[in-house]
């Protein structure tokens, strides 16, 4: 009877140790049951030294800016016309006319 208990304790101990070793090595095995899906990386916008701001309708040059241009940025030209950038292709930003701004009315 004592020998059967010893065998049972030894077998149980070996099973527990083997289970612990297998569990600790589980992170090394590729897990194919539920594979993790990575999000696709977004292509970053290439940064240029300057951006050429063009009128969207007639592609007239409005200005050069040494800043990174983004869609939605607003541009105020020399003749007080407000434009909003609607699309960017390489270092060319196309802007849409929004309104003329009268600075004299704003001062009053």
Per residue in 73-83, pLDDT tens? 999 999 899 99
Among the listed residues 98, 91, 46, 52, the one whose alpha carbon sits nearest the alpha carbon of residue 72? 98
At residue 99, the pLDDT reads 93
What is the model's pTM? Answer: 0.55
Sheet harboring 74-76: ordered strands across? 61-65, 51-55, 92-100, 81-89, 74-76
Among the listed residues 91, 74, 92, the one whose alpha carbon sits nearest the alpha carbon of residue 83? 74
């Amino acid at each position: 009877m004592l020998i059967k208990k010893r065998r049972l304790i030894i077998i149980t101990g070996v099973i527990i140790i083997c289970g612990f070793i297998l569990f600790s090595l589980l992170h090394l095995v590729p897990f194919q049951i539920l594979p993790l899906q990575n999000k696709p990386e977004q292509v970053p916008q290439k940064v240029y030294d300057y951006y050429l701001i063009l009128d969207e309708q007639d592609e007239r040059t409005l200005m050069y800016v040494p800043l990174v241009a983004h869609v939605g940025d607003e541009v105020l030209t020399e003749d007080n016309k407000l434009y909003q950038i609607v699309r960017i292709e390489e270092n060319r930003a196309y802007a849409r006319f929004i309104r003329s701004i009268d600075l004299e009315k704003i001062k009053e």
